[in-house]
């Protein structure tokens, strides 16, 4: 009696064990579709004349713990290893436990339970090893599902981002306007060698034609293109850098190869997700000359006081005398940031640019200073403001000021949203050349609301209004931006 029942269990385990240990994970998924056969007739190579037919039929009808190969065969004459037997036994144990948990214990006879118990004791080592193997396979499967490209999530990843939309600009009272559909496509390759460092390569293609008379322009992502710029690019290498910790993480260093300015690595930031490029950091101290950059941030007192310094140049690859990384147009920038509370950050930054590459491509060297503050009034309301002053090399007639004040509202109406309202004076280089004592500084007001449609798609309607945009007329720019990220 025992021999026949053990042979029956052995027969059922043969197919289950062979499948569990012979095929790779993609085939395993295919096997699962065929796993629970409901009739022996589904196994094409099993005939009523086979000596194991009745045992196999009993296992199918009584316990349902029989599986065939993906091609619908059983392969009953194949040799059986102890490991394969343990895999099949484990499958039958799971099925018996399901029957007991479902209140169907009467379907399992005492003789069968005694047989299973003896088999479980004899194959205890193999079952333990199998469970460990299954756990490892499940972990590997989860990793593959999370990273379909086969990259290690802890060390490498690829991100895609596309920002586009439709925007229009007009002068108040003027019925004429113009609509445009710009775009910016980014492909980011990121890797980590130690788990604490970041190496990024970005491929970027974008086409952005700013409206005539708009001194600030649109911003797509973290790197706007500046006022009055027309960008019609093929695929270029952008935002390529290596960021790594030093001295037990107290110093954060960055080497930027292209399109990285010293200010990109500093501590102070703004919480806005607005349409205009002005709703960002002050250009004079954070977005000056850059491209190739060496910078660091030193956390002098943990979570309290930070000092940053950066050196950047636009001519690092120029091999002519009087140019290059150290001799070409360059900027020295520094920042001191103070966080007396988790919800408050204060910062002062300064920059000195030399080499005929000042703001607005001026031939003059200049210096700038800015002050910034960000206050998290509540988890959903953030206040942010900054003021910047630029000092020219001559008699000061080209000195100018910028300021920005605004509120960001997080999770407002919709979880994951970012709405905001801000005002400021975009006194950019467009106005620095105007020699008119009666000239009124331009004034900007902007409102926007970013809300998620899915985890990968967000939409941002918004509008900004600038007075004295070209020294005389006002201009209003509005539109809807759509951002895809995956």
List, in order of start, the domains of the chain with CATH numbers.
2-146 (no CATH), 156-485 (2.40.160.10)
Number of residues that this document lists for the chain: 486
The band of 260, judged by pLDDT with boundaries at 50, 70 and 90, is confident
- Is the pLDDT higher at 224 or at 476? 476
Report whether 288 contacts 277 (CB < 8 A). Answer: no
| CA–CA dist 284, 333 (Å, integer) | 10
Q: Hey, which bits of 328-417 come out as E strands?
A: 330-341, 344-354, 366-378, 381-392, 400-410
The band of 36, judged by pLDDT with boundaries at 50, 70 and 90, is low
The band of 42, judged by pLDDT with boundaries at 50, 70 and 90, is confident
Report whether 444 contacts 216 (CB < 8 A). Answer: yes
Q: How far is CA 72 from CA 40, 64, 248, in A?
A: 11, 16, 59
- Phi, psi of 336, deg, nearest 5: -120, 125
User: Which pLDDT value is given to residue 6?
Assistant: 39
Cα atoms in the 13 Å half-sphere on the side-chain side of 44: 6
Record the pTM. Answer: 0.64
Which residue reads 């194949």 in tokens?
Answer: 78
* 406-431 mean pLDDT: 85
User: Which pLDDT value is given to residue 188?
Assistant: 94
Mean pLDDT of the chain: 76
Determine how many CB atoms are found less than 10 A away from the CB of residue 297: 20
Report whether 262 contacts 310 (CB < 8 A). Answer: yes
Tokens for 439?
């000239």
Model confidence over 441-468: pLDDT tens digits?
A: 788 999 999 999 999 999 999 999 998 7
Model confidence over 138-190: pLDDT tens digits?
A: 666 766 666 555 445 456 789 999 999 999 988 776 656 678 898 999 999 99
The band of 41, judged by pLDDT with boundaries at 50, 70 and 90, is confident
Determine how many CB atoms are found less than 10 A away from the CB of residue 384: 23
């Amino acid at each position: 009696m025992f021999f026949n029942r053990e042979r029956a269990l052995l027969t059922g385990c043969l197919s289950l064990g062979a499948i569990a240990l012979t095929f790779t994970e993609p085939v395993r998924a295919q096997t699962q579709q065929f796993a629970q056969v409901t009739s022996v007739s589904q196994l094409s190579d099993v005939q009523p004349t086979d000596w194991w037919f009745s045992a196999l039929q009993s296992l199918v009808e009584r316990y349902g713990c029989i599986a065939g190969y993906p091609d619908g065969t059983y392969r009953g004459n194949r040799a059986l290893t102890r490991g394969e037997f343990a895999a099949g036994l484990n499958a039958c144990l799971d099925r018996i436990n399901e029957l007991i948990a479902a209140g169907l214990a009467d379907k399992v006879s005492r003789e069968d339970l005694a047989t299973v118990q003896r088999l479980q004791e004899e194959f205890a080592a193999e079952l333990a090893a199998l469970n460990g193997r299954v756990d490892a396979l499940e972990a590997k499967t989860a990793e593959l599902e999370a990273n379909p490209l086969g990259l290690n999530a802890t060390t490498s990843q690829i991100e895609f981002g596309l920002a586009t939309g439709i925007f229009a600009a007009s002068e108040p009272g003027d019925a004429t306007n113009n609509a445009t559909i710009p775009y910016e496509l980014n492909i980011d390759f990121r890797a980590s060698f130690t788990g604490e460092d970041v190496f990024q390569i970005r491929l970027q293609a974008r086409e952005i034609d700013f409206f005539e008379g708009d001194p600030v322009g649109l911003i797509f992502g973290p790197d706007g293109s500046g006022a009055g710029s027309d960008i019609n690019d093929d695929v270029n290498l952008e935002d390529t850098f290596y960021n790594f910790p030093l001295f037990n993480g107290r110093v954060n260093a960055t080497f930027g190869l292209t399109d990285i300015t010293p200010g990109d690595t500093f501590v102070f930031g703004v919480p806005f997700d607005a349409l205009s490029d002005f709703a960002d950091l002050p250009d004079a101290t954070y977005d000056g000359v850059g491209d190739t950059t060496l910078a660091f941030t030193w956390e002098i007192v943990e979570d309290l006081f930070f000092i940053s310094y950066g050196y950047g140049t636009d001519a690092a690859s120029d091999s002519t005398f009087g140019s290059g990384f150290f001799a070409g147009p360059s900027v020295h920038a520094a920042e001191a940031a103070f966080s007396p509370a988790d919800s408050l950050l204060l910062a002062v930054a300064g920059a000195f640019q030399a080499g005929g590459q000042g703001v607005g491509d001026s031939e003059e060297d200049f210096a700038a200073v800015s002050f910034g503050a960000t206050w998290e009034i509540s988890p959903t309301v953030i206040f942010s403001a900054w003021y910047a002053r630029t000092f020219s090399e001559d008699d000061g007639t080209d000195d100018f000021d910028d300021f920005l004040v605004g509120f960001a509202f997080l999770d407002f109406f919709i979880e994951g949203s970012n709405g905001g309202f801000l005002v400021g004076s975009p006194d950019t280089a467009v106005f620095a050349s105007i020699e008119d004592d009666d000239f009124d500084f331009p004034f900007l007001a902007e409102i926007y609301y970013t809300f998620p449609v899915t985890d990968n798609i967000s939409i941002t309607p918004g509008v900004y209004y600038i007075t004295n945009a070209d020294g005389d007329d006002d201009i209003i720019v509005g539109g809807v931006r759509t951002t895809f990220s995956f």
